[in-house]
Structure 1
Amino acid sequence: MAGAVLFSEMTPSPDWEGEFNEWYDNEHIPLRMTVPGFTGAQRYKRNDRDYLAVYDMTGTDVLQTPAYVEIKDNPTAMTARMLGSVGGFTRYIGTEIGFQSNVALDDAIPAPVLYSVLFSVPGDRLGDFDAWYDQDHLPALLENPDWLACRRFSLEVAHPQPFNRLALHYLATDEALDSPAREKARATPGRARLAAEPWFQADYKVFYLHGERFSAR
């Protein structure tokens, strides 16, 4: 599986949501799947019109290659119109720093629920934060078999918020978010210690699978 991700959200107007989805599925993602280093992509949706795409890559340097720059810097008329009209745009790019799971990643990727967590952690607290997440938080969450997997990323590009950590949790059902395992994970002394610090504020979102997975050509 890829060693990096591009996590991007967009919200189209209801007046052209159908056109947006047609463009995303038939132009925007397929073009990127032709770029060497892109290995796959999956779309998700939350609320009424908030869409997410998670692109898997071999590394963040893929976004500096001539093949990708050519596509990004020379958008089609449809791409220029769509990107200039959507709201809620986010762009987070990061390198994978951790993976824990109850199943193989290829089995987790098609999960119906994606729970994303974004943090902005001070540099001098990254060591403690990462140790807590990997050694305390995730083992407790994974006691629930419906908590299929978690991939963690160190962010190198963050827009519009200056987050530097992203966790993508793959769930068999959103009921896992109300499970005893999650209650346990949120009640440990390690979490309480970090939660007392003023920076410990996360962006949490629940997305649902939208469409089939795209693979590199």
Structure 2
Amino acid sequence: MQSKGQAVLFSEMAPAAAWTDRFHNWYDTHHIPVRMACPGFVSAQRYRRQDGEGYLAVYEMDDVGVLSSDAYKVIKSNPSEDTAFMLANVSGFTRYLASETSAKPAAPGVAAALDAPILYSVCFNVPAEAAAEFDSWYETEHIPLLMECPDWLMVRRMLVTDGVPEIYTHMALHYLADAKALQSPARENARATEWRKRLAEQDWFQASYAVFDRWGQRQLGQR
């Protein structure tokens, strides 16, 4: 069964230590399953942030319009008691809706890469006048150099259409077999090119980076 969509909802939050178990039970047995029953949701995978207490969920959807559907509006407007508690009390909340513009797996097919043990996210706020060059650099130079590392399984690029708390325009999701890929010669080479150095001189070239470990099993929507 296909588990990748053409859009993602990228949402992170952190529970208090006193109710972490309650948070995980709610997420795994209620919050995700309710969404997997909604038309347009393809799958969901949870992750844990390596440098903090946050837990991320990446929901795969047919397209960004799923969150505007009548079926999803019913879910959002009728939260359970646990859902209302969690959303009112978690910290570190993020929510980014993004539409996929490219997906480059190291090998044909995406099923195995999508379930990689490490997810590395990179977000930029790129001004409109710089977007064409930024996209060209990322697609034609940066990704090919990164994927010279055998642990770099797939790169997906996204246009962010909505999100809080930061304002981003571009998101890249890197699926890694091992976090050591981030210290690989391939990544060092990708970050040392003249093209990247030229872009890095621009004030807007300030990315937000995060590394996550896969947490639990992927849940699938009802297709």
- Tell me, yes or no, whether TM beats 0.5: yes
CA RMSD in angstroms, aligned pairs only: 0.8
Answer yes or no: is 1:175 the counterpart of 2:191. no
Give the alignment partner of residue 152 of structure 2, picking from 140, 144, 147: 147
Distance 2:163 2:66 in 1: 17
Partner SS state of residue 89, structure 2: coil
| Alignment match, 2:217 | 212
- Counting matched residue pairs gives 217
- 1:173-215 CA-to-partner distances (Å, cap 9, x unmatched) read 0000000000010011110110010100000000000000010
Letter in 1 for 2:88: G
Find 1:90's aligned residue among 90, 94, 119.
94
Q: Is 2:82 aligned against 1:78?
A: yes
The one-letter amino acid paired with 1:56 is E
Contact 1:14–1:49, Cα closer than 8 Å, also in 2: no
Tell me what 2:26 maps to: 23
AA at the equivalent of 1:91:
R
Q: Check the 8 A contact 1:146/1:171 in 2, yes or no.
A: yes
In the TM superposition, 1:1-217 aligns within 5 A as 1-46=4-49, 47-103=51-107, 104-217=109-222
1:15-40 residue CA offsets vs partner (Å, 9 max, x unmatched): 00000000000000000001111000
Q: Distance in 2 between matches of 1:18 and 1:95?
A: 32
1:140-174 Cα offsets, whole Å, 9 max, x none, are: 00001110001110000021000010100000000
Q: Match of 1:41, as an amino acid?
A: A
Q: CA deviation at 1:48?
A: 4.9
The alignment partner of 2:84 has SS state of: helix
Identify unmatched segments of 5+ residues in structure 2.
none
Deviations 1:93-149 (A, max 9, x none): 011001112132111011110000010000111111111100010000000111000
User: Any gaps of 5 or more consecutive residues in structure 1?
Assistant: none
| Identity fraction in percent | 49
* Moved beyond 2 Å, runs of 4+: none
Length-normalised TM-score, structure 2: 0.96
Q: CA deviation at 1:65?
A: 0.6
Q: Structure 1: which amino acid aligns with 2:78?
A: N
1:73 to partner: Cα distance: 1.1
